[in-house]
Chains A and B, each alone.
Chain A
Amino acid sequence: MKSTMARLALISAAALVAGAALAQDKSVKLGNLNDMSSLYADVGGPGSTIAAQLAIEDSGLVAKGWKIDVVGGDHQNKPDVGSNITRQWYDVDNVDVILDTPNSGVALAVNQITKDKNKVFLNSGAASSDLTGKACTPNTVHWTYDTYALANTTGKAIVKNGGDSWYFLTADYAFGHALERDTEAVVLANGGKVNGKVRHPLNTADFSSFLLQAQSSKAKVIGLANAGGDTTNAIKQASEFGITSGGQKLAALLLFSSDVHALGLNVAQGLTFTESFYWDQNDATRAFSKRFQARNKNGQPPTMVQAGTYAAVLHYLKAMEALGANPRDGAKVVAKMKEMPTDDPLFGKGSIRADGRKIHPVYLFEVKKPSESKYAFDYYKQVAMVPADEAFRPLAQSECPLVKK
């Protein structure tokens, strides 16, 4: 009897300790690994840290006794710098999840390390559809957009409007290659043809020789398979060379609201492109944008990348809450995220597929004429909406080994 009592006491003591340990593990650390100072800094950058902080506030977890921190890091668009920070964060600083990470080259490196260390990677900024294709992992969620969605929406729309011969100006790294590949496939499938392509280094200042090659190709459409500062540079220089006034059409395959702001409506007017979020879509997005702008140093509304970071963090924290405590097991958290339907003020209701692809509608926008713009940052008009189940690559075509066929 005595020994039973002692045993009981021991067990309850052990349970108490275990309970205390579980109760303590309500801490989460998020790392915004981004381009903080170069060509993608306005697309994601410090703004993504703000978005993550807003998501933490809206999750209400801090009031429930959770401790949630965000740290930021600058990968300088170099895969080796990015992977070093990633390792350091995971091994030493106890970071649970890496956010955003524009630049597909860096994102693919982070993707692999995250899988090896069983953490979580919530990608918003990188575009390569390989993240949910052949490089997919059980630890990665790709939130905002990808090259397939861009190609499928913008590419199809332009070919159907008569732009049936293309010349590609491609950023020479993982993202550019993926965007060019996916767009070319759409152009060919819709009866168009590709006259040629040229690849330029990341962060190029002078596009003159590339643009002249594009001009002499006589293609109706010059497809810009690049992003951020590269796209705005190319568009500005194309207008200086008179390429657009000469009858050729520019297709910015990836354009962010920060790029339109940088270009100005005079240069950007009439461009059609694909995004999955625009700050002025409805009351919920406007309310969020107002809060975001108040904290953003340059006063700009959120880009879709920053919005995606917000929504991804919000859903991640919901999954954490559902799990009760931080399990320190990345695959388990992501499995929970996939199991729960998503619902947030910016992207509405949606879901995360087995391959890690977040599903929501995407929109074809056109940049307004200066005369149509009524107030600050009033830049887009919506041309078309592609429903969630058509916007992204069908699971049946996926090369992802996680998809059971």
Chain B
Amino acid sequence: MSAATQTGLIPTGAVRHNEMSVFFAMAALLALAPFGIYPFFLMQAMCFALFACAFNLLIGYVGLLSFGHAMFFGFAGYIAAHFAKLGTIDFTIPLIGIGPHINLGPINPAWAILLAVIASAILGLLTGALAIRRQGIYFAMITLALSQMIYFFCLQAPFTHGEDGIQSVPQGRFLGLFDLSHQMTMYYVVLAIFLFGFFAIYRTINSPFGEILKAIRENEPRAISLGYKVDRYKLAAFVLSAALAGLAGGTKALVSQNASLTDVHWSMSGEVVLMTLLGGMGTVFGPVIGAVVIVAMQNYLAQYGQWVTVIQGIIFVACVLLFRKGIIGEIAAKLKTAL
């Protein structure tokens, strides 16, 4: 954790100046990266980075360990893929066989992603309202249980196509302007979405709302005694985190042109925990680095098949034993600043 968040104070001008310079450096680096690195890999890394940042908003700044974030990420992917490909809504009630059937046709990828975000936010509101009543391990278990329910829904619901997933999702034209089938255009659209999501999180944690979240993390009874309705704040943070995870999931579905069970599986919830811990929990840039490292491992070690998970496990143990603050957390501690 950074010096600023440890004391619970608003970051000083110097710290914020640091963070902004790193932010612009990251944006510039990402804008140039596709000329040297495989763009498809970078796009996936950015989607997971945004997902990890959304998760970090909850665990790093509110102290809530959600073990079910895959449901927002994966379900949003299904929603975006379905609407970008078919756009049908079928409310036919089973057994009776009647009900409204709406056909919107394939819709613009931008609106498909927006719908995915809305769906995730609603899902976040429903699950969050249940889960925030408990703390610690119970909170984690409730989110895990709910995400398993969503997993089985995605396995059985007709529109998700079970094990096959939704394949060959058309990429279309973003807002009717940008042709996403062109890889570089797609890259910059994804970059814009990522920077938007990242900046939204950055602004949130540095706002008065973010300060209250940190206060809840540090000492919840004290926040209550000060007159804050902590449940509302927690719920708002949960919904925000779910919506941003949905933004990441919806974007990923369009990048990889498919939505599949991998992204709603509980192991994805574990993976995002790993990304966040590895990069540095409660740091602004940590989840980004953590996500890049994990996605790079999965991509470049793919030929070793199942050994990837073993290597991931070893890294996780090493991280917990040797550098508990995560990569960015340790660097920030060395530089005595917040990153």
Contact = CB atoms under 8 A, between A and B. Distances in A.
Nearest to B259: A80
B271 to A, nearest CB: 13
Contacts of A92: 38
A136 interface: no
Contact of B164 (A88, A173, A201): A173
Contact of B163 (A37, A81, A172): A172
A74 B305 contact: yes
Number of contact residues on B: which range applies?
A: 20 to 34
Nearest to B263: A80
Contact of A112 (B44, B163, B168): B168
A174 B164 contact: yes
A74 B258 CA distance: 18
Given A91-B40, A172-B162, A108 B302 contact: no
Given A37-B305, A87-B40, A79 B167 contact: yes
A79 B38 contact: no
Given A84-B256, A87-B40, A109-B258, A73 B303 contact: yes
B41 to A, nearest CB: 8
A36 to B, nearest CB: 5
A202 interface: yes
B305 A76 contact: yes
A105 interface: yes
A37 B304 CA distance: 10
Nearest to A106: B164
A397 to B, nearest CB: 23
A80 B162 contact: no
B260 interface: yes
Number of contact residues on A: which range applies?
A: 20 to 34
Interface string A65-94: 000000111101111110111011001100
A195 to B, nearest CB: 21
Contact of B306 (A37, A172, A201): A37
Contacts of A108: 164, 167
A74 B302 contact: yes
B218 to A, nearest CB: 39
A36 B305 CA distance: 8
Given A87-B40, A88-B299, A74 B164 contact: no
Interface string B285-307: 00000000000000100110110
Nearest to B164: A105
A338 B245 CA distance: 47
B165 interface: yes
Contact of B260 (A36, A37, A71, A80): A80
Nearest to A174: B164
Contacts of A83: 167, 256-258
Contacts of A71: 303
Interface in A266-294: none
B163 A173 contact: yes
Interface in B26-61: 38, 40-41, 44
A74 B162 contact: no
Contacts of B257: 83
A401 B261 CA distance: 30
A201 B299 contact: no
Contacts of B155: 201
Contacts, number: 70
A119 to B, nearest CB: 15
B299 A84 contact: yes
B94 to A, nearest CB: 16
A78 B256 CA distance: 13
Interface in A96-153: 104-105, 108-109, 112
A73 B299 CA distance: 11
Contacts of B162: 172-173
A176 B41 CA distance: 32
Nearest to B306: A37
B135 interface: no
Interface string B250-262: 0000001110111
A84 B306 CA distance: 16
A109 B44 CA distance: 18
A71 B303 CA distance: 9
Contacts of A105: 163-165
Contacts of A173: 162-164
Interface in A191-218: 201-202
A330 B258 CA distance: 23
Interface in A30-86: 36-37, 71-74, 76-81, 83-85
Nearest to B303: A73
Contacts of A109: 167-168, 258
Given A73-B302, A112-B167, A173-B162, A79 B258 contact: yes
Interface in B219-261: 256-258, 260-261
Nearest to B162: A172
Nearest to B304: A74
B260 A78 contact: yes
A105 B161 CA distance: 10
B302 A85 contact: yes
Nearest to B163: A173
Given A112-B167, A172-B163, A88 B40 contact: yes
A144 B155 CA distance: 30
A81 B260 CA distance: 10
Instruction: Give 6 closest A-B pairs by Cβ, nearest first.
Output: A173-B163, A74-B305, A105-B164, A80-B260, A112-B168, A174-B164
14 contacts: A71-B303, A74-B303, A74-B305, A74-B306, A78-B261, A79-B163, A79-B164, A79-B167, A80-B258, A92-B38, A105-B164, A112-B168, A172-B163, A174-B164
Given A71-B303, A80-B263, A87-B40, 6 more contacts: A74-B302, A80-B260, A83-B258, A85-B302, A112-B167, A173-B162
Interface of A: 36-37, 71-74, 76-81, 83-85, 87-88, 91-92, 104-105, 108-109, 112, 172-174, 201-202
